[in-house]
Amino acid sequence: MIFDAGQFARVRYFVSCICAAAWLLIFEAPDHGFELPVCHPRTSGAPFGVWISPFLTMHQAQLLTAGWALMLIAMMAPVLVAPIYSIRSRSFKHRRSRATALFLGGYALAWMPIGAVAAAIELAATQLAPRSYLPSMVAALLAVLWQCSPTKQRCLNRCFVHRESHAFGIGADADALRFGLTHGVWCAGSCMPLMLLAMLLPRCNQIAMVAVAILIFSERLERPGAACWRWRGLGKSFRLVSAQARLGWRAFRGARAPDAFDYARR
């Protein structure tokens, strides 16, 4: 497969616009009554079953589903540029939109049940320990252990696998849908403990979501590695930012007009 820089740039631009719009809606959600999994009312004082029944009415359930989808788009869209480009580059031009839609549908289908479980955990933690950092501390411990575990690396390695697909017919559609499902499962296995940590914080959830999204994106910059116990964090992204900062500083120093001190040194 020949790399098409123009098509990759178009996919990245489109995904970046969708991601930016999702983040804008997330930061506006608490002020406009939109139900995100991390922005529901933190009520207490009533039995869990009595409290959750009116909360999960059809209207509220739909809002929570939409909120989870919005959270998923904002946090995971940046890491979908490569697989979307892969599925489009392996499809004929008249099938690209269809293949992309099937891939995204499979990806969302893999994540939505996991989102329901995460929302239930958050609701239970909120009711059992309202406004407490204890659930988030437990989630942080589990997330750190997961970040260092070999299974985390295995999930990350699977996220880099882009399998060949059929070119025509139902086989091509099934392959695109299967690719979305499997990619979603491995993404969830890699990222869900971090996302749950952001959801369980009693405050500053949106800021935590931004930090987790940056960490998730940074992990995908690394190459697949051996499944072993080690910390996985901002390694390559930090090196890239540092290198760009050094290059910018050298360019600034080189473009700076000589002053009296420079003449004195000469």
Contacts of residue 213, Cβ cutoff 8 Å, sequence gap at least 6: 74, 75, 78
Mean pLDDT of 161-177: 88
pLDDT in tens, 206-251: 899 999 999 999 999 888 999 999 988 787 777 777 788 888 888 8
Contacts of residue 89, Cβ cutoff 8 Å, sequence gap at least 6: 1, 4, 7
Q: Is the pLDDT of residue 51 over 80?
A: no
Return the pLDDT at 86.
Answer: 93
Q: Is the pLDDT of residue 49 over 50?
A: no
* Residue 230 near residue 148 (C-beta atoms within 8 A): yes
Return the pLDDT at 52.
Answer: 45
| Angle 221-224-226 from CA coordinates, rounded to 5° | 135
The 3-state secondary structure of the chain, one letter per residue: CCCCHHHHHHHHHHHHHHHHHHHHHHHHHHHCCCCCCCCCCCCCCCCHHHHHHHHCCHHHHHHHHHHHHHHHHHHHHHHHHHHHHHHHHCCCHHHHHHHHHHHHHHHHHHHHHHHHHHHHHHHHHHHHCCCCCHHHHHHHHHHHHHHHCHHHHHHHHHHCCCCCCCCCHHHHHHHHHHHHHHHHHHHHHHHHHHHHHHHHCCCCHHHHHHHHHHHHHHHHHCCCCCCCCCCCCCHHHHHHHHHHHHHHHHHHHHHCCCCHHHHHHC
Contacts of residue 99, Cβ cutoff 8 Å, sequence gap at least 6: 87, 88, 90, 91, 165, 172, 173, 176
Return the pLDDT at 146.
Answer: 95
Q: Mean pLDDT score of the chain, rounded to an integer?
A: 83
Between CA 138 and CA 193 the distance in angstroms is 11
For residue 55, name the pLDDT band (cuts at 50, 70, 90): very low
The domains of the chain are located at: 5-233, 234-266
Mean pLDDT of 9-38: 81
Return the pLDDT at 120.
Answer: 87
